[in-house]
Amino acid sequence: MIREFFRYLFFRCSSDARRLGYLYELIAFEARIERLEKFWVPHFEKCRNFISEGIKHVAGAKRNVVVLGAGTCLEIPLEKLVESFEEVWLVDMLFSEKIRKTFSIFKNLHFVETDVLAGWHKNSERLFKDFTNGNVRDYTHYMPDTKDFWQKLPCEIDLLVSANMLSQLSLFPEEFLLKKHHHGKAKSWEETVNQFSSQLFRLHLTDLFKASKVLIIISDIKKCIFKKNNTVEQVQLYPEMVFNSNDFEQAFLTDEWNWNFAPSPEISLNESHVHKVKAGLWKI
Ligand SMILES: C[S@@+](CC[C@H](N)C(=O)[O-])C[C@H]1O[C@@H](n2cnc3c(N)ncnc32)[C@H](O)[C@@H]1O
């Protein structure tokens, strides 16, 4: 706990990554990896194998591969990517110094620290202000201009990978906005936030399908909570709510597996959490 506190204090990242909760999540994620490594390794291997298989489906030149939500890179077959592509672009809100140092041996590897939703919080502030004034407009009015984000990447992307980022993508905006209370209008504010977060998710999904000829999406889509009394509670995560299962059916290649995310007692003595993960590769 103390180690994590100091890590949080001295971590070098943008003020947005810190203020909006991405840093806190990264540190919590790293600590979980340490505690649960043996349970998480099969999931890491599944992700790496799926992406490695995906490389074979890139026909023609392999100039640029972009990985969104690269984080700690444990789900990514980095050696394979740097061998196979001329340039590898890893994107996330933040990268630790350790990750940057470890992979600095690869000269064709680039770290891009940025928000794939191109500064969603500014749009969120506008939404909050308009809601307060009883004047919420069509949700398209609050969508960020993601062109700003894509311009930071090469235009020729031969393989695009969304590396287990989708289930988190809308959660940050949602939590940020729900902290802003609306006395007397809580229910309607919750619905507004929900609509806004879903629209952000859809916007990003549309971007993904436009950015490259070969797209890989890996995402946890559902949480299954196994309880001591032998009951199972299923909780849909964002991608399952918004991302149609049809979308995965249309993929050229698919896989799915269980990620032993939080075996008891990680979250509770009486519960074990298993995430259902889906992977798809689309040729567009
Ligand atoms: C579950 S982690 C992915 C793990 C990673 N693929 C790995 O191998 O360790 C999700 C990642 O998505 C990133 N992320 C979430 N929302 C983002 C956004 N709007 N822009 C950029 N990165 C984002 C988080 O910072 C986090 O590192």
For the segment 174-216, what is each residue's pLDDT rounded down to a tens digit? 999 998 876 677 788 999 999 999 999 999 999 999 999 999 9
| Cβ pair 62, 158 in contact under 8 A | yes
* Whether the CB of 47 sits within 6 Å of ligand 1: no
State the distance from the centre of ligand 1 to the C-alpha of 163, rounded, in angstroms: 8
**Does the beta carbon of 88 sit less than 6 angstroms from any atom of ligand 1?**
no
For ligand 1, whether the C-beta of 193 sits within 6 Å is no
Q: Ligand 1, residue 17: give the atom nearest the CA.
A: 25
The residue contributing the CA closest to ligand 1 atom 11 is 69
- Going from the N-terminus, what domains does the chain have, and what CATH number goes with each? 42-283 (3.40.50)
Closest CA to 163 of 78, 84, 253, 250: 78
Cβ 73 under 6 angstroms from ligand 1: yes
Give distance in angstroms: CA of 116 to centre of ligand 1.
10
Beta strands in 57-108 (DSSP E): 64-68, 87-92
14 CB within 6 A, ligand 1: no
Query: Atom of ligand 1 at shortest distance to CA of 47?
Result: 8
pLDDT averaged over the chain? 93
Nearest to 129 by CA among 140, 137, 119: 137
For atom 20 of ligand 1, which residue has the closest CA? 115
22 lines ligand 1 (CB under 6 A): yes
The per-residue pLDDT for range 78-135, each reduced to its tens digit, is 999 999 999 999 999 999 999 999 999 999 999 999 999 998 999 999 999 999 898 8
